[in-house]
A and B are shown apart, each in its own frame.
Chain A
Amino acid sequence: MEPLPNTTQIRPESEQISLAKDDIRQFEPLYDKYYTRIFLFIYRKMDRKEDAADLTSNVFLKAMNSLHSYEITTAPFSHYLLVIAKNEVAEFYRRKGLEQKYFANQRMIEQIARDTEYEPSEGFFLIRKILELLPPHDFELIDLKYFNEMSVREISGITGLNENKIRVRLHRIRERIGKMIRSKVPGMTRYGDMMTLTMLMFTCIPIGMSTVQY
């Protein structure tokens, strides 16, 4: 009996893509399947829902327009869409000349804190600031892993890095974040950020002066 192929999983999605390559109207099930996912991926990087919706439509339009050159593999179609989405967001910010934004929730930051073995209640604000300082290629992995809650395999599909490398890099990034917290990130004080210290200064100095007895 012949041995099993590399995967015995039946993939109706590949069939759907094949059909869509011949008749683009067959793309609709893929559009329905992935719309919410792509929207949320983009929305986490956008101020306005309307911009996110526009970019999401652009992603699917581009996917449909270049579907003839898409190679069907064992990777889910979502990887392809997410790569287009990533590029669309970057292009959006480039055109506008704005600093790119990311929206995370408290739970995500707390998870990063736990993974860097730092007490979430102490380091919440600090970690947020550190994330703003991370180099782009490091932050990309944090964004995909923590903000978008993707598996290592999905991250591999989007970034093209192999899974082992991703695991090693995530480990190093977490270590670096931990070190930055513990060694007092440049420009930050032990008790918080410069803003807090400045506020303290502006509050304490007048109080102190008022108590000086001439």
Chain B
Amino acid sequence: MKRHRIVETDREIISDPEILKMKPPFADLMERLQDLPPTPAGRRLRLPRYVMIGAAALILVLVTGYFLLLRNKGHDAPVDKPLQLAEAFPPEGIEPPEPDMLEYEHFVVKPGKKAVLTTKKGSRITVPADAFAHQDGSPCTEPVDLKFIEFHTVKEIFLSGIPMQYDSAGINYTFESAGMFDIKAYSGSRSLVLADGKGINVDLVSPRSDPFNFYYFDTIQNQWEYMHTEAIASAGHGPSAPAVVPQKADKAPETPLETQGAVVVGTSSDQVLQTGQTKHAFKIEFDEKEFPELSSYKSLWFEVMDSAFAKKYLRMGTQWDSIAMKRAAEDRYVITLYRLKQSITVEAKPVDYGKPSEEALNAYQLVEAARESTRNERVQSARATRSMIEQQEQNIMQWAYSKGATIYNLGVWNWDKPVPQPMQAMSGTGSFVDKSGKPLVPKMIYLAQKEVNILWNYKPQQDWKYSNATENILWFILPDGQYAIVNDETLKRRGKTLPAEVVSKEEALNEIGRFI
């Protein structure tokens, strides 16, 4: 056997002060930087020569094949063979089209004890004792906030924003799903990982008993990783399955972080106010005895470090169930705001602002007034959608099977079969228009068929396909947030233009849910 390297063990330890003695001043680096030629914008790809030659050859084959196939376009005969081209390009990463509509279930898992949790839909999660660790690998000894969401129907898969394309040996497939889930764990604001050697068993309810493949979504590569294939048909799962009541966070805990040194300071945020173009700050009431270091401030505001986060999650006038505050460093406070099942945590620094400027106050109030005027409408539609979701959940509880696996990573997992294209696939033709003939340009086309749990998605410049064997529905989101829906009859008419019905988000989602 060939020796590849030398491994030595007798070496003196070098201390940190010694290392820092060797560290050149930053100014020296800056000087040296001036002499370096700038690297070109974008990533420089370094690959071995044989990989580059192979990639060039593959591209040549693909381009030749694409042009050959183009000659056959326009035939009306259904295409049964899987194509060799990547026609449905996946979106990059997970991008939920309507993030508001994703509702994770929350469970509290105590350290040192195994937990068996049952979701609303009847799936079961078995968490071994001491399953979680911090990002640096140290065990998590605090109670863990476990968040879980499952996706079963095409509509749920659409709302998840999780790409359903899978590349295998250069061929692009779309997943037919038997169930998908996302599982995350947090300790306060810190995301956790599974401890080495610890796995969580997930038995996901499913309507399918036939064997499926199990995949994990790698969020660094933005692609699915095949794990294994189910060896036998799924176990039955029904009303007789034991249901252990989980420790859910049904209401905000009364003293949420006291065991971690945080103090509950109040039950409402007094004001959440934008004070400038890039800064967001808010006031809260608290007992100065708990934080005497803040008593010297004349007009104390907490300025949020991440302004994008604040803009999205902190709104004026929102009522919180409770607020906990903890000093993290000399001028840093970690503030957690609790409302019903959810909480947000922000890192903020105390600043003495005096009064916010009139201009900032007026600008913010204008935005809030506009939002308030549509509030009732939004509440009504959310209620209607929620009751439909509840009905659907009841239906899912009736499903007879479950798919079980042990996972060693948190994140998105999926039971799937890769499918190359719709059954009796026909190439879509025509451009999209509304009822008045005005062109509609989609960013992403979504397509589904009756009784098939597959969500196809295509970029508009690509050939998209529908099934000639069953009924289809096609939709896409417009820039103003409305949806355009094209029905099966219109698709199969194969006209030069495809008139789409433009509807609100709520109507569209109801229609999609009803169709599938």
Which of A's residues lie within 8 Å of B, judged by CB? Answer: 1-12, 15, 24-25, 27-28, 31-32, 35-36, 39-40, 43, 49-50, 53, 56-57, 60-61, 64-66, 68-69, 75, 99-106, 109, 128, 131-136, 139, 151-153, 156-157, 160, 162-165, 167, 185-187
Evaluate contact between B19 and A66: CB separation under 8 angstroms: no
Which of B's residues lie within 8 Å of A, judged by CB? Answer: 1-9, 11, 13-14, 16, 18-20, 22-24, 26, 29-30, 32-33, 36, 38-39, 41-43, 94, 99-100, 102-104, 133, 135-137, 147, 184, 186, 189-191, 193, 196, 216, 218, 220-221, 225, 227, 305-306, 309, 312-313, 318, 339-340, 342-347, 408-409
Evaluate contact between A64 and B6: CB separation under 8 angstroms: no
**Min C-beta distance of A7 to chain B, whole Å:** 5
Contact of A162 among B100, B216, B306, B318 (CB under 8 A): B216
Complex Cα distance A28/B23, Å? 12
Complex Cα distance A139/B133, Å? 25
Q: Report the nearest A residue to B133, measured CB to CB.
A: A151
A69 — which chain B residues lie within 8 A by C-beta? 39, 41-43
**Min C-beta distance of B328 to chain A, whole Å:** 10
A49 — which chain B residues lie within 8 A by C-beta? 14, 18, 22
Contact of B1 among A10, A68, A187 (CB under 8 A): A187
Main secondary structure of the interface of A (DSSP, over half): helix
Contact of B5 among A3, A24, A139 (CB under 8 A): A139
Q: Report the nearest B residue to A104, measured CB to CB.
A: B9
A100 — which chain B residues lie within 8 A by C-beta? 4-6
Evaluate contact between A167 and B39: CB separation under 8 angstroms: no
A133 — which chain B residues lie within 8 A by C-beta? 1-4
Q: Report the nearest A residue to B100, measured CB to CB.
A: A2
Evaluate contact between B9 and A31: CB separation under 8 angstroms: no
A-B contact pairs, 25 of them (CB 8 A): A2-B100, A3-B99, A4-B104, A4-B343, A6-B94, A6-B184, A8-B345, A9-B190, A10-B306, A27-B26, A31-B29, A61-B32, A64-B33, A65-B36, A75-B220, A101-B8, A103-B7, A105-B11, A128-B9, A139-B4, A151-B136, A152-B193, A153-B193, A164-B216, A186-B1
Complex Cα distance A196/B416, Å? 56
Complex Cα distance A35/B312, Å? 35
**Min C-beta distance of A70 to chain B, whole Å:** 9
Evaluate contact between B344 and A7: CB separation under 8 angstroms: no
A1 — which chain B residues lie within 8 A by C-beta? 318, 339-340, 342
Q: A61-B29, A132-B3 are in contact. Are A164 and B225 (CB under 8 A)?
A: yes
Q: Report the nearest A residue to B340, measured CB to CB.
A: A1
Contact of B9 among A15, A39, A109, A185 (CB under 8 A): A109
Evaluate contact between A102 and B218: CB separation under 8 angstroms: no
Q: Which 7 pairs from chain A and chain B are nearest by CB?
A: A151-B137, A10-B347, A53-B22, A162-B218, A66-B39, A28-B26, A103-B11
Q: Report the nearest B residue to A142, measured CB to CB.
A: B7
Complex Cα distance A68/B44, Å? 12
Complex Cα distance A160/B305, Å? 30
Evaluate contact between A132 and B4: CB separation under 8 angstroms: yes
Q: Report the nearest B residue to A60, measured CB to CB.
A: B29
Complex Cα distance A176/B38, Å? 45
A152 — which chain B residues lie within 8 A by C-beta? 137, 193, 196
B312 — which chain A residues lie within 8 A by C-beta? 2, 5
Q: Report the nearest B residue to A100, measured CB to CB.
A: B5
Evaluate contact between B26 and A36: CB separation under 8 angstroms: no
Contact of B409 among A11, A101, A162 (CB under 8 A): A162
Complex Cα distance A43/B23, Å? 13
A36 — which chain B residues lie within 8 A by C-beta? 16, 19-20
Complex Cα distance A7/B189, Å? 8
A31 — which chain B residues lie within 8 A by C-beta? 26, 29
Contact of A99 among B6, B11, B23, B133 (CB under 8 A): B6
Complex Cα distance A53/B501, Å? 66
**Min C-beta distance of B24 to chain A, whole Å:** 6
Evaluate contact between A167 and B408: CB separation under 8 angstroms: yes
Complex Cα distance A1/B33, Å? 48
A153 — which chain B residues lie within 8 A by C-beta? 135, 193
Q: A24-B33, A162-B220 are in contact. Are A104 and B7 (CB under 8 A)?
A: yes
Q: A61-B32, A185-B1 are in contact. Are A9 and B8 (CB under 8 A)?
A: no
Evaluate contact between A35 and B23: CB separation under 8 angstroms: yes
B135 — which chain A residues lie within 8 A by C-beta? 151, 153
Complex Cα distance A132/B409, Å? 31
B8 — which chain A residues lie within 8 A by C-beta? 101-104
Complex Cα distance A15/B306, Å? 8
Most A CB atoms within 10 A — which of B9, B42, B216? Answer: B9
Complex Cα distance A35/B409, Å? 30
Complex Cα distance A6/B347, Å? 17
Evaluate contact between A164 and B36: CB separation under 8 angstroms: no
Complex Cα distance A105/B189, Å? 36
Evaluate contact between B9 and A156: CB separation under 8 angstroms: no
Q: Report the nearest A residue to B345, measured CB to CB.
A: A8
Complex Cα distance A105/B26, Å? 31
Complex Cα distance A45/B302, Å? 46
B196 — which chain A residues lie within 8 A by C-beta? 152, 167
Taking A10-B306, A65-B33, A132-B7 as given, write out 17 further A-B residue pairs in contact, using a Cβ cutoff of 8 Å, ordered by the A residue number.
A2-B312, A4-B104, A8-B344, A32-B26, A39-B19, A57-B24, A64-B33, A100-B5, A101-B7, A101-B8, A102-B5, A139-B4, A151-B133, A151-B193, A152-B137, A162-B221, A162-B409
